[in-house]
């Protein structure tokens, strides 16, 4: 973690220098990207810089407290508890800010929700998950944009891709990646039986353009007529696009907009996020870490969370959390769940790091 913090601080300080560099100031797109990245690191960089200053001040105060000058010793002994308390508070904040690794402080991410096992009911559950995240995003004042959507005749979603932007968005939403299981009586059930269905969620950090540079020669572009709802214009013109990245084989398509140009721009954003995620996972493999798939197969057995409507119960299986307030959670009140997961991760990280002194 210290190595990560040092890297982030070095990057933050480089960005500070870039923001007053005449070459950067004269390049509009580069300046915008630099300012955005600087903004995403300002809390972490500033707090870690202060943390390092406190370490120095504590060392100096301890040296004075053990020195021969009585007046300086008394001053140091008075000052030490305050310095140590401030350092402890900042350390706890740094633990929270670094949960999620290098991408913890990304202000943008891509979320993909797909129906899994369960047919039409799974698609309806995927739609309900989207509505839950949408309401939560509104409460957090995050921006949400639909990138692509494939709907069913009953109003469910086979899959939907979203772009979200806001402070802490990736750090919080990363916990949503995995299999989600629902137990309830479906709208289509005539005999009142409880069914079990599943959907999968994948959350990927959205990189800056300079981090993933894609040229037109790097992918194949296919244009086709959009399907599904959207009116005659959408269905009769080649507004939809499909991108196939040659190196990784990743395929992305977008047909949500009537404009081919807008669909291409959205598809490129999703493609860059998937490529970035692919490369991050490859790097983990090189470090011999076990890779855990974000999405899984959508099967009921691969689940991180269960939504039991008859009992008004949500269970997060990763940390053994059970809350009997599912109605509130699906209405967008996810914060209690997220806070519990963050607290668990922070404690795990703290245990690994040990005491400060």
- pLDDT tens for residues 32-61? 888 988 888 888 899 999 999 999 999 999
176 pLDDT band, cuts 50/70/90, is very high
- Given a cut of 70, whether residue 10 has pLDDT beyond it is yes
Domain 2-98 classification at class level: mainly alpha
- Given a cut of 60, whether residue 231 has pLDDT beyond it is no
State the chain's mean pLDDT as an integer.
86
286 pLDDT band, cuts 50/70/90, is low
98 pLDDT band, cuts 50/70/90, is confident
Q: What is the pLDDT of residue 86?
A: 94
- Given a cut of 70, whether residue 326 has pLDDT beyond it is yes
> What fold, for 103-357?
Alpha-Beta Plaits (3.30.70)
181 pLDDT band, cuts 50/70/90, is very high
Q: What is the pLDDT of residue 290?
A: 35
Q: What is the pTM of this model?
A: 0.76
Q: What is the pLDDT of residue 2?
A: 79
Q: Once rounded to an integer, what is the mean pLDDT over residues 137-161?
A: 94
Q: Once rounded to an integer, what is the mean pLDDT over residues 244-248?
A: 93
Tell me the domain boundaries of the chain: 2-98, 103-357
- Given a cut of 70, whether residue 78 has pLDDT beyond it is yes
Q: What is the pLDDT of residue 284?
A: 63
Supply φ then ψ for residue 54, to 5 degrees. -65, -40
Fold agreement between 2-98 and 103-357: no
């Amino acid at each position: 973690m210290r190595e990560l913090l040092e890297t982030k601080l070095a990057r933050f300080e480089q960005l500070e220098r870039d923001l007053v560099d005449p070459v950067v100031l004269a390049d509009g797109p580069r300046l915008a990207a630099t300012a955005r990245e600087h903004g995403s690191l300002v809390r972490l960089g500033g707090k870690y810089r202060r943390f390092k200053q406190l370490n120095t001040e504590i060392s100096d105060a301890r040296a004075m407290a053990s020195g021969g000058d009585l007046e300086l010793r008394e001053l140091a002994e008075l000052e030490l508890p305050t310095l140590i308390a401030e350092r402890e508070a900042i350390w706890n904040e740094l633990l929270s800010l670094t949960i999620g690794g290098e991408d913890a402080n990304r202000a943008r991410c891509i979320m993909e929700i797909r129906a899994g096992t369960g047919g039409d009911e799974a698609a309806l559950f995927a739609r309900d998950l989207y509505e839950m995240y949408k309401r939560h995003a509104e409460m957090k004042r995050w921006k949400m944009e639909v990138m692509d959507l494939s709907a069913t005749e009953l109003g469910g979603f086979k899959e939907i891709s979203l772009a979200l932007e806001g402070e802490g968005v990736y750090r919080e939403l990363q916990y949503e990646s995995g299999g989600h299981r629902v137990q309830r009586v479906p709208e289509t059930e005539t005999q009142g039986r409880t069914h079990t269905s599943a959907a999968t969620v994948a959350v990927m950090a959205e990189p800056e353009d300079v981090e993933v540079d894609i040229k037109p020669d790097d992918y194949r572009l296919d244009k086709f007529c959009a399907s599904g709802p959207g009116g005659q214009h959408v269905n009769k013109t080649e507004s939809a696009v499909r991108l196939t990245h040659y190196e990784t084989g990743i395929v992305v398509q977008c047909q949500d907009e009537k404009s081919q140009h807008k669909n291409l721009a959205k598809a490129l954003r999703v493609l860059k996020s998937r490529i970035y995620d692919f490369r991050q996972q490859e790097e983990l493999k090189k470090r011999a870490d076990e890779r855990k798939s974000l999405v899984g197969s959508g099967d009921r057995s691969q689940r991180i969370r269960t939504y039991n409507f008859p009992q008004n119960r949500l269970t997060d299986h990763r940390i053994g959390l059970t809350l009997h307030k599912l109605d509130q959670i699906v209405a967008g009140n996810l914060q209690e769940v997220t806070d519990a997961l963050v607290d668990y991760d922070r404690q795990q990280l703290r245990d690994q790091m040990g005491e400060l002194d």
